[in-house]
Amino acid sequence: MHPKVGIILVILMVTGMWGTTVQAIRPEDDQQAREMGRLTYERACVWCHGAEGKGDGPSGWFIGRYSAPRPRDFTRESYKFRSTPSGELPTDQDLFRTITQGIPGYMPSFHSLAENERWQVIAYVKSFNSAFKEEMSPPIPLPFPPHAPSDAAIENGRKLYQQFGCQVCHGENGVGDGPESRAGHLRDAQNLLISATNLADRSALKNGAGPQDLYRSIMTGFDGTPMPSYGGQFAEREQEAWDLVWYLLSLSEKPRR
């Protein structure tokens, strides 16, 4: 076994980083929950996301005035961090995961809020967009890895990385220096400049850095950005999607102590 593969296996087993899925039991979504959520939102969220949830809070304006990402506009669709198919709204568990984990470099974790407070904020945030009242699409299957990383899996993942043109944005070594990114051609739905993620730095992975997080990102894509869903390409080829996951993890820097 290649030494780097062994390091990945040990890290995943010792730290429990097979995935960072956050699950919790959702309480009743009612008027009282929304009202309590409003109070928490005004205390913790309004400065970035704005009084009406449009992402135009005073702090948010300085965060994303000229480049992406701006704070989430809760009145619009195109959510990036979902377990649902491309074009669909996130599940409540998706929203809970994002609030709990935060978004590295942009949004702090709100794990310090009590669990019921996080659910109440979600109930209030959903009230900004009537689309949340419609029937929701189910999340895609999110299995555990069917096999541990191996030299063969990583090599196949490298070939898939090239086959799907990932290097055009993320670069040959995954550090975010692909020609499209360097040329400033990557834009979001609001025409704000986007830089491709440095896949070699796990702390830069906004949707989570565990294997299941990467699998979810590959299969769902990030709506509103140039990052598409590859769910169609990997239909009935899910094991190959895991090979790509192992390759992406192999690019990561050795975690700092």
pLDDT digits (tens, 9 = 90+) for 104-146: 989 999 999 999 999 999 999 999 999 999 999 999 999 999 8
**What would the pLDDT profile of 183-220 be if each residue is shown by its tens digit?**
999 999 989 999 999 999 999 999 999 999 999 999 99
**What would the pLDDT profile of 43-55 be if each residue is shown by its tens digit?**
999 999 999 999 9
Assess contact for 215 and 241: CB atoms under 8 A. Answer: yes
Assess contact for 81 and 75: CB atoms under 8 A. Answer: no
Percent of the chain scored above 90 by pLDDT? Answer: 76
Q: What is the CA radius of gyration of the chain?
A: 19
d(CA 111, CA 96): 10
pTM exceeding the 0.85 threshold for the entire prediction:
yes
Q: Tokens 């309004």, residue?
A: 46
Q: What pLDDT shows up at residue 249? A: 97
pLDDT grade for 34, boundaries at 50, 70 and 90: very high
Percent of the chain scored above 70 by pLDDT? Answer: 89
Burial 51-79 (b: 16+ CB within 10 A, else e): eebbbebeebeeebeeebbbbbbbebebb
Average pLDDT, the chain: 89
Q: 122 exposed, middle or buried (CB, 10 Å; 0-12, 13-18, 19+)?
A: buried
Strands (E), the chain: none
**What would the pLDDT profile of 138-185 be if each residue is shown by its tens digit?**
999 999 998 889 999 999 999 999 999 999 999 999 999 999 999 999
Name the token pair of 4.
């780097």
Q: What pLDDT shows up at residue 15? A: 40
pLDDT grade for 21, boundaries at 50, 70 and 90: low
When mean pLDDT is compared across 26-30, 42-46, 179-183, 237-241, the lowest value belongs to: 26-30
d(CA 27, CA 214): 28
Residue ranges of the chain that CATH labels 1.10.760.10: 3-19+142-250, 31-133
Q: What pLDDT shows up at residue 171? A: 98
Query: What mean pLDDT comes out for the span 57-86?
Result: 88
Give the residue with greater pLDDT, 210 vs 6.
210
d(CA 244, CA 217): 12
d(CA 118, CA 122): 6
| Furthest-apart CA atoms within the chain: distance in Å | 57
H or E segment to which residue 84 belongs: none
- At the fourth CATH level, which superfamily is domain 31-133? Cytochrome c-like domain (1.10.760.10)
Please enumerate in sequence order all residues whose Cβ is within 8 A of that of 53, keeping only pairs 6 or more positions apart, or say none. Answer: 73, 74, 75, 125, 128
- At the fourth CATH level, which superfamily is domain 3-19+142-250? Cytochrome c-like domain (1.10.760.10)
Cis omega (within 30 of 0) for bond into 71: no
Cα distances (Å, whole numbers) of residue 196 to 25, 66, 129, 181, 206:
35, 16, 29, 6, 12
